[in-house]
Structure formats: structure tokens, C-alpha cells
């Protein structure tokens, strides 16, 4: 098995801590190790460093080397620019198909997820790996929902294909992020899982899927492969012309061999400041403070400050996220923290 870790995003929902220069996956949000380091640590018992590949942006190559010095330099796949997960995964598959046997399996993981039960996750991966190696399925790991989340997409599963040692179901359909009422119906039905964005398949299986379901992308990626080492300018030109399509929409929704394994591994994609706050052990009155914070009757408030000497005073506030960095300050209602990405877009426009 080889592992492809997608690490090219800039984590806009974690602005102002996450920036283009230091995106979320390179931050020490949970513990002493950065998120990308934790992702590699989690999978190392199953594979060696030589079989772990990082797909990132060209501007982040230095950060990858800094955080993962044990990784062979040739295992860093640098996209000229981001073009979503179908291109990211497809590029990895065409570049790696000649390094490995065609039936080698590829585990695809985002670089910025939290998994509280890594041993269980590795056991499930091992069982799923044996299955896809034999059956040529496109497998995704669905997370058994613990509440009616509206911030995640969902996967509806149909007939059971395999029961032991892990249950594997045919994918019936993918659903976009629902409203609260629909999410409640999904959870109540017992036939939906959160879409984790984690996949497992054989190299030849995903290459065949791209060829059959996204022929334009397949043609472009093979052109890119021909120039990958010899002509970066041509690679950038081809890559800039690729459509930005998630692999869920471009491949998984159309495939007739997509399967899902519903799992419970204490998972969180930490997609917002609110999501991070929910993982923290709270102080008095439901607050979490990281910094020099003084409060009078503050409740349910998350504070993160990079300057431990600066005093931050709170009086009678509730349900806030406050993030103070050297050059920016974010204050928002906790349940509106997803909108931080909209602020980042406005900043981009103003800077241009």
C-alpha cells in the first residue's frame, strides 16, 4: 500500500492563524506536532516513509521538507496551482503508476483531520486494503454520524456487499451539505454516513475511473506526465486549464463500483474555529482561553492569542471566537465561524 496525503490547501476557515504562507496543515493546532506530521505519524505503522507521498502547492514545498524531513524529496508532488481533489488525486495516480505494480493500493488522506482512535483506523484500513486489492472497488470511508451535522456532506449506502471482518456497502448516492431538518432525517434513517474525503483503491482502478468518467482530465494529466520533469512551464499551462472538480463529484458519484465503509474513529475534519473549540477541554463557564485573558462573566467563548504578553479583557460576552495574531484580529459569533472564508475572499479582492 502507498499513501497519498493531500496537503495543498490554505485553510481559509482558520484565518487569521492559517495563511497562504503557513496553512492550517502546518499549524500546531492540536498538540506538539503539526497536523500534517500527525497524519503521517498515524499511518507510519502501516507503511514506510518511502511509500508516503505528499501532494502540495509549489509554494509549500519548503514547509513540507521542514515538517517531514524523513520523507524522500522525490515523494513531494508539487502542483503548480490548486485544482481541487480530482486533479490532485488523478495527478498522483498517473505519476505513480510506473513506480508500482498496477494492483498496488493507494490510500488517500487529507492532511488536516483529527482521528482519536488511530489504532482502530489502521485495523480498518488493513481490512479494507485486502478487499479493494481483490475486488477493484473505489472505496471511501464514511463516518457514522453522531449528530445531525449541516457542515458535512453525506453518503447514503445501499446493499451490504461484505459483512466480515468489516461491513462494506455499495454507495447509493452522495448528498451535499443538508439543512438541519434534512440532516436529522439522514441520521434517523441509519443509512447515511458523513463524507470524510478519505479513499482507498488500486492505482489501476482510479486511473481507469478517471479515463472513463473524466476523459478530458485523463488526457490532460497524461500530457502533464510527459512534461513533468522536463518542462515546468508547459506543466503549469496544462494545469491552469484543468477544471476545478472534487473527486466526489467527478468520479465517486458517477462510478458503478463505489463502496463505503461506515466507521466510528472519533473523527473531526476541524473545518472551522467552532469545530476546533468543540474539541477543547473547556475552562470555567464553557470558555477556552489560550493567551493572557481576563474575563468577567464571559461564557462559551474561544480565545486564541499569539502574543502571550498582550492582555485580552472580556466582559459579559457569549458565544464568541476571538483570534488575535501579530497583524490581524478576528471576532465572530462561534456558530458563524464558517463565514471566515468569506472574509478571506474580501481581503484577496482588496489586496488586488
pLDDT at 62 over 90: yes
More confident: 285 or 352: 285
User: For residue 241, what is the domain's CATH number?
Assistant: 3.90.550.10
Return the pLDDT at 30.
86
The residues, ordered by sequence, that sit 6+ positions from 204 with a Cβ below 8 Å of its Cβ are 97, 102, 103, 136
Q: Please check whether residues 175 and 292 belong to one and the same domain.
A: no
Residue 320 near residue 334 (C-beta atoms within 8 A): yes
Q: Please check whether residues 112 and 54 belong to one and the same domain.
A: yes
Q: What is the pTM of this model?
A: 0.93
Mean predicted confidence (pLDDT) in 246-253? 95
Domain's final residue, options 217, 233, 268: 268
Counting residues of the chain whose pLDDT is more than 90, the rounded percentage is: 83
Strand partners, 115: 267
pLDDT at 176 over 80: yes
Residue 104 near residue 129 (C-beta atoms within 8 A): no
- Nearest to 46, CA basis, from 133, 134, 137, 107: 107
Q: Please check whether residues 26 and 102 belong to one and the same domain.
A: yes
pLDDT, tens only, 85-120: 999 999 999 999 989 998 999 999 999 999 999 999
Domain's final residue, options 233, 268, 303: 268
In which domain, by residue range, is 250 found? 2-268
Return the pLDDT at 182.
96
- Residue 270: pLDDT band (50, 70, 90) is confident
Half-sphere exposure at residue 25, Cβ-oriented, CA atoms within 13 angstroms: 27
The residues, ordered by sequence, that sit 6+ positions from 210 with a Cβ below 8 Å of its Cβ are 86, 90, 93, 217, 218, 221, 251
Q: Please check whether residues 208 and 310 belong to one and the same domain.
A: no
pLDDT at 352 over 80: no
Domain's final residue, options 244, 268, 292: 268
pLDDT, tens only, 287-319: 999 999 999 999 999 999 999 999 999 999 999
Report CA-CA distances (Å) from 83 to 46, 133, 214: 29, 28, 14
Residue 35 near residue 45 (C-beta atoms within 8 A): no
Strand partners, 76: 54
C-alpha cell belonging to residue 337: 465561524
Q: Please check whether residues 161 and 295 belong to one and the same domain.
A: no
The residues, ordered by sequence, that sit 6+ positions from 348 with a Cβ below 8 Å of its Cβ are none
- Residue 139: pLDDT band (50, 70, 90) is very high
Amino acid at each position: 500500500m502507498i499513501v497519498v496525503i493531500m496537503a495543498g490547501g490554505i485553510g481559509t476557515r482558520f484565518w487569521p492563524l492559517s495563511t497562504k504562507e503557513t496553512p492550517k496543515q502546518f499549524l500546531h493546532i492540536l498538540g506538539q506536532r503539526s497536523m500534517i506530521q500527525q497524519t503521517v505519524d498515524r499511518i507510519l505503522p502501516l507503511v514506510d516513509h518511502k511509500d508516503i507521498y505528499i501532494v502540495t502547492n509549489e509554494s509549500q514545498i519548503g514547509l513540507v521538507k521542514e515538517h517531514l524531513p524523513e520523507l524522500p524529496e522525490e515523494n513531494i508532488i508539487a502542483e503548480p496551482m490548486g485544482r481541487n481533489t480530482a486533479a490532485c488525486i488523478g495527478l498522483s495516480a498517473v505519476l505513480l503508476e510506473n513506480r508500482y505494480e498496477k494492483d498496488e493500493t493507494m490510500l488517500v488522506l487529507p492532511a488536516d483531520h483529527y482521528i482519536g482512535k488511530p489504532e482502530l483506523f489502521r485495523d480498518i484500513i488493513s481490512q479494507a486494503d485486502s478487499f479493494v486489492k481483490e475486488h477493484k472497488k473505489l472505496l471511501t470511508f464514511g463516518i457514522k454520524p453522531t449528530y445531525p451535522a449541516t457542515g458535512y456532506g453525506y453518503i447514503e449506502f445501499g446493499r451490504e456487499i461484505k459483512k466480515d471482518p468489516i461491513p462494506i456497502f455499495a454507495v447509493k448516492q452522495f448528498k451535499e451539505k443538508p439543512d438541519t431538518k434534512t440532516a436529522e432525517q439522514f441520521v434517523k434513517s441509519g443509512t447515511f454516513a458523513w463524507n470524510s474525503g478519505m479513499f482507498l483503491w488500486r492505482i489501476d482502478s482510479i486511473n481507469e475511473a478517471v479515463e472513463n468518467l473524466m476523459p478530458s482530465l485523463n488526457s490532460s494529466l497524461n500530457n502533464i506526465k510527459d512534461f513533468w520533469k522536463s518542462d515546468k512551464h508547459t506543466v503549469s499551462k496544462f494545469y491552469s486549464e484543468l477544471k476545478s472538480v472534487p473527486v466526489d463529484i467527478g468520479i465517486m458519484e458517477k462510478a458503478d463500483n463505489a463502496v463505503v465503509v461506515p466507521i466510528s474513529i472519533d473523527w473531526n475534519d476541524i473545518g472551522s474555529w467552532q469545530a476546533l473549540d468543540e474539541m477543547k477541554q473547556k475552562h470555567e463557564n464553557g470558555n477556552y482561553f489560550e493567551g493572557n485573558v481576563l474575563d468577567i462573566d464571559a461564557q462559551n467563548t474561544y480565545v486564541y492569542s499569539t502574543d502571550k504578553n498582550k492582555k485580552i479583557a472580556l466582559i459579559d460576552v457569549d458565544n464568541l471566537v476571538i483570534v488575535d495574531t501579530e497583524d490581524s484580529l478576528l471576532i465572530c459569533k462561534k456558530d458563524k465561524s464558517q463565514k471566515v472564508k468569506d472574509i478571506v475572499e474580501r481581503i484577496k479582492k482588496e489586496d488586488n
